[in-house]
Chains A and B, each alone.
Chain A
Amino acid sequence: MHIPDSFMPLTQGIVYWAVALVFIGLSLRWARRDMDEERIPLVAVLAAGIFAIQSFNLPAGMGTTGHLVGGALAAIVLGSPFAAVFILTLVLIVQGVLFGDGGITTMGANILNMGVIGGFVGFYSFRGLLAVFNRVDPAAFAAAWLACFVPALAAAVEMYWAGTFPLREGLIAMGLYHAVIGFIEGAITVVAIRLIISARPDIIGTGTKAKVAGT
């Protein structure tokens, strides 16, 4: 889902960067307020893990591949959508600047899609679904699926505005592929959350802690 430079006019890239910067600023404020000495290294490990697993593409059928994005995972574990913005911003900067995975001018759009939309959709759908299912696993799975699917639709609309994809075909292709890739996102998110809860329940963020404490 990493949009390269060539897929978007520079002016639109700047607009997405401007919007992303607002959320990046808010995520830095979250990091300043919510981080303590005990959680900082664990957040760094989570980010390193998300970077690593993003490089692991799995077959998704229909001639396409996919990997975990990690927006829902970061937001659920750390109890805030801004955790996803914070971590995904750093991951996308390293990927774009060092490895050319995603563009520089389109990095704002990528941060907006995977960090902001993925983080907010993942976090709030998890909270809502947890109230419905009353179990972490199905709520986390569905939230992670949505955190993959909705940003893909957003990227399709951005590609339409950029003149790169026709709207209908872009939405169908992006929606279909990421509906399948979302199962990879959901499965890995559930496994990772289970492992983290069993290893260190104390690092689960205050935004989700009370909800998952009894599981």
Chain B
Amino acid sequence: MIQTRTLLAIGLAAAVLIGIGAVFLATGGPDGLESAALVVHGEKSLTGPAPPDAEVKAPGRNGVSYIPPFPDYNLGVGSGRTGSIIAIVFGIALTFGAILGITRLLRHRRREENQE
């Protein structure tokens, strides 16, 4: 059985490698929901390829237009693949840290309740 610390290191290294691999190897193009949107708007046939200039039409069903700090997993125009790698590694670290922080906080609260 692998020790927790070793598994943590292996798991995080694997996550970072997968994230970096995604920058170089992941397939571009619409995902399932975007492809379905292209089909229902007549821009793509059901089983055919997505036209290179096909754009997913945003129906604008609500007035919210949130602009994320790192759209499309990138630090911004001109940051290229390095920007994507940094953005994804940051996302991995933040997800790991957030789960760790929240679960530790919840455990701490449970211990406090048990002591009362």
Q: Do they bind each other?
A: yes
B contact face: mostly helix, strand, loop, or mixed: helix
* A59 CB within 8 Å of chain B: yes
Question: Which residues of chain B from 74 to 107 have any CB-CB distance to chain A below 8 Å in the complex?
Answer: 87-88, 90-100, 102-104, 106-107
Whether B94 and A98, one on each chain, are in contact in the complex, defined by CB atoms closer than 8 angstroms, is yes
- A164 to B38: give the CA distance in the assembly, Å: 11
Give B residues with C-beta under 8 Å from A.
1-2, 4, 7-8, 10-12, 14-16, 18-19, 21-22, 25-37, 39-40, 44, 46-50, 58-73, 87-88, 90-100, 102-104, 106-107, 109-110
Question: Which residues of chain A from 9 to 58 have any CB-CB distance to chain B below 8 Å in the complex?
Answer: 9-10, 13, 28, 31-33, 35-38, 40-53, 55-58
Given contacts A32-B110, A40-B107, A202-B1, whether A99 and B91 have CB atoms under 8 Å apart is: yes
Whether A49 and B15, one on each chain, are in contact in the complex, defined by CB atoms closer than 8 angstroms, is yes
Besides A45-B12, A51-B15, 6 new A-B residue pairs in contact (Cβ under 8 A), listed by A number: A7-B58, A40-B107, A48-B12, A51-B91, A52-B18, A64-B35
A32: chain B residues at CB < 8 Å are: 106-107, 109-110
Give A residues with C-beta under 8 Å from B.
1-10, 13, 28, 31-33, 35-38, 40-53, 55-60, 62-67, 86-87, 90-91, 93-101, 103-105, 152, 155-156, 159, 162-166, 169-170, 172-174, 176-178, 181, 199-202
Whether A42 and B7, one on each chain, are in contact in the complex, defined by CB atoms closer than 8 angstroms, is yes
Nearest chain B CB to A140's CB is how many angstroms away?
19
Nearest chain A CB to B73's CB is how many angstroms away?
5
